[in-house]
Amino acid sequence: MKKIIIIGAGGVGHVVAHKCAQLAEVFPEILLASRTESKCVDIAKHVKQQYGRTIKTAQVDADDVSDLVRLFDNYKPFMVINVALPYQDLTIMDACLEMGVHYLDTANYEPLDTAKFEYKWQWAYQERFKQAGLMALLGSGFDPGATNMFTAFAAKHYFDEIHELDIIDVNGGDHGYPFATNFNPEINIREVTAECRHWENDKFITTPAMSEMQSFTCPDEVGTYNIYRMYHEELESLTKHYPSLKKAQFWMSFGDSYLKHLEILGNVGMTSIEPVKFNGQDIVPIQFLKQLLPDPASLGPSTHGKTCIGCWVRGIKDGKKTTVYIYNVKDHQDCFREVKSQGISYTTGVPTMIGAKMMMTGVWQQPGVWNIEQMDPDPFMADLNEYGLPFQVIENPDFKLV
């Protein structure tokens, strides 16, 4: 029986545990481990009530390779799903290599003291995973994750060559708070305040954060939103794996209240990652701010509205210019009804479960370190339809993107 360990009991871990528990034939034994075991126990209780399945729990410090090795040695998992924080990617990969365990994550490594995420650290594990006969699947959330698969699916079925890619992430949800983030606040704010980078003519071009904006009308009556260009990690892997791309950009919607709060918090230094002395103690402002903000895992009941996340791809098919928009729309309250979670954790956790399912069932199983778009998108896309995130394709849409 193949066992699985999920590390991280936050908003995403909650959804992954529930979605894996729904598929007993693929995930017959599950252990949920995190820094605070009581959070794992709460999730396990809810899984038991909802599906009658028992999932085990454990405490682990995922910053400590020896603690992870102890856990893996006791439980003997086939694979680990890492939905802790990007800071733990490398320690978990090290423990996987030591104990012969396959690996999957949703966010690339980021050093705690530098707000810069890059794949180079994880790509450097390629030979070691290959030689150990182990697979590491990187970026199996929604973005990165489903967006990489949308791009791969478009490239495979609708184009001879893809030239331009716009990934557009609209969260049309409202949680009722003046300022809250939908996933880990520290990671979210580090990402949003970083300089923007987009791909153009074979190189990344840097522009100030939030300096480019346009209005985007989503399909299916989700609404019209201001979307801001920012850097996102899948741009790095997709431009590497699709060298025909001449331009690639990532856009995300933000409401005025979110942006106003972020600006003011930034102006007074509350989003800084540099430690400051306070009453004789070192504190990191952004970590203190995280303590004050609502826990993203608690936003489920109050969040209403829909997400609309998709890829706008332009290229050539049979010598003609073609545009394809592939997207998913998800209602926050549907997610809450199903697994008691808001839509951002849900749209991340479902592709995480699907990536793990591909590895558990051997549909995707190849030693080495792979970004998700390097796998065949077809079985993954079929599972998005099956497990709660159906996608739509619009060929040559009549609405425009600037």
* Site membership for ligand NDP, residue 12 (CB under 6 A): yes
Site for ligand NDP contains 107 (CB under 6 A):
yes
| Cβ proximity to ligand NDP, 63 vs 118, nearer residue | 63
Residues 38-57 that bind ligand NDP (CB under 6 A): 39
Asked whether position 183 contacts ligand NDP by CB under 6 A, the answer is yes
388 binds ligand NDP (CB under 6 A): no
Is 328 among the residues that bind ligand NDP (CB under 6 A)?
no
Complex with ligand NDP: residue 194 or 316, whichever CB lies closer: 194
Q: Does 173 bind ligand NDP (CB under 6 A)?
A: no
Structure tokens at 131: 């030689």
What are 305's two structure tokens? 């509205």
| Extended strands (E) in 60-183 | 79-82, 102-105, 135-138, 161-171
Euclidean distance between CA atoms 257 and 393, whole angstroms: 32
For strand 79-82 and strand 102-105, is the pairing parallel, antiparallel, or unpaired?
parallel
Count residues binding ligand NDP (CB under 6 A).
Answer: 32
User: Near ligand NDP by CB under 6 A, which window of 9-17, 200-208, 241-249, 371-379?
Assistant: 9-17
Q: What angle do CA 337, 79, 3 make, to 5 degrees?
A: 75
Cβ proximity to ligand NDP: between 159 and 228 the closer is: 228
Instruction: Write out the binding residues for ligand NDP, residues 119-148 only, by CB under 6 A.
Output: 141-145
Enter the tokens of residue 166. 């716009």
- Which window, 82-90, 211-219, 382-390, 394-402, contacts ligand NDP (CB under 6 A)? 82-90
Distance CA 95, CA 74 (A): 13
Please give the residue whose beta carbon sits closest to ligand NDP in the complex. 10
Place of tokens 């697994």: 339
Query: 184, 271, 322, 371: which one contacts ligand NDP (CB under 6 A)?
Result: 184
Q: Does 300 help bind ligand NDP (rule: CB under 6 A)?
A: no
Give the residue with the Cβ less far from ligand NDP, 148 or 323.
Answer: 148
Q: Which tokens go with 48? A: 């038991």
Using the rule CB under 6 A, which residue among 2, 3, 35, 246 binds ligand NDP? Answer: 35
User: Rounded CA gap, 277 and 266, in Å?
Assistant: 18
* Helical axes 11-21 vs 343-360, angle rounded to 10°: 50
Distance (Å) of CA 373 to CA 80, 144, 147: 20, 10, 9
d(CA 163, CA 245): 4
With respect to ligand NDP, which residue has the nearer C-beta, 162 or 299? 299
Provide the Cα torsion 24, 26, 28, 29; round to 10°: -120
- Could you list the residues that contact ligand NDP (CB under 6 A)? 8-13, 34-36, 39, 60-63, 83-86, 88, 106-107, 141-145, 183-184, 187, 296-297, 348
